[in-house]
Amino acid sequence: MTDRTLRVFLPYLGLSLVQLVVLYTGPAWAVPTSKALLMPLLAAAVLLAVGRPRPSQAWLLVTALAGSWVGDVLLSFPGFFVPGLLAFLAAHVAFIVLFLRLPVQSGRRRLPAGALVYVAWYAGFLALLGPHLGALLVPVAVYGAVLGSMAALAGGRGGPIAVGGAFFVVSDSVLALGRFLPGYEFALHDLVVMSTYLAAQGLIAWGVVSGLRAARAASAQPSLEPDRRAGATDR
């Protein structure tokens, strides 16, 4: 990427740092306010970095970020956990469709062998939290399955996208432990949840944009095949 492209992501990075600081320093109103601005900033960075014409994959990424934004806003209010969960569920579905539509690098599989890690995570996740979920067992189980599928497909893309998918699982797992596991105590809970979440979104966006720009640059290069065939005819 060019330096100009890198710069469009700096506002998101800067506000992410602000968000992590105000989590512990306040003021209280700054936490939901800064949180509500993060995904719009990242979506704007994506659209600016991709440029025109914007392929369908870019709009799928923006759709996933929009779903995440709705989830961020809803989860800032007490009593909106299930609607927030549904918003993030929609975001992960958009990520899944996006990853399926991204080209697979040579030598990679759509579902790498490392996807088994997410199968093990899902089984452990339900075994640990299932007895404490009550009426939320089914929605949380569905969400976990979709989240794990998203992360597994992200792993098939490698690089920043794979790391971003893994960070998403870490963030949501720690969040779920804090909400549902009796006796859970972790002093850095909020910091871990938000830092891994913001890193996940940023890395996925970065990886997708990098891939789209590389594909556009490759398709813009003229093919040498006609010249080779012409040279063979002349000889």
- pLDDT tens for 141-173 read 999 999 999 999 999 888 999 999 999 999 999
Q: Which two tokens stand for residue 14?
A: 């800067």
Pick the range with the lowest mean pLDDT from 36-40, 67-71, 215-219: 215-219
Between CA 86 and CA 25 the distance in angstroms is 30
Mean pLDDT score of the chain, rounded to an integer?
89
The pLDDT of residue 235: 43
DSSP state of 158: -
- In this prediction the pTM is 0.88
Highest averaged pLDDT of the listed ranges 47-51, 101-105, 162-166 = 162-166
**Close Cβ partners of 36 (under 8 Å, ≥ 6 residues apart):** 69, 72, 73, 76
pLDDT tens, residue by residue, 199-209: 999 999 999 99
pLDDT of amino acid 108: 59
pLDDT of residue 231 exceeding 60: no
**What is the structure's pLDDT at 78?**
87
User: What whole-number distance in Å separates Cα of residue 235 and Cα of residue 232?
Assistant: 5
Structure-model confidence comparison of residues 18 and 212, the more confident one: 18
Q: What is the pLDDT of residue 102?
A: 86
Measure the CA–CA gap between 194 and 203, rounded to whole angstroms: 14
> What does the pLDDT average to over 50-62?
89
Instruction: Report the pLDDT value the prediction gives residue 222, as an integer from 0 to 100.
Output: 61
Predicted pLDDT of residue 229: 47
Q: Which long-range contacts link 82-85 to residues 24+ away (Cβ below 8 Å)? A: 82/136, 82/139, 85/139, 85/140, 85/143
In the chain, what are the domain boundaries?
3-214
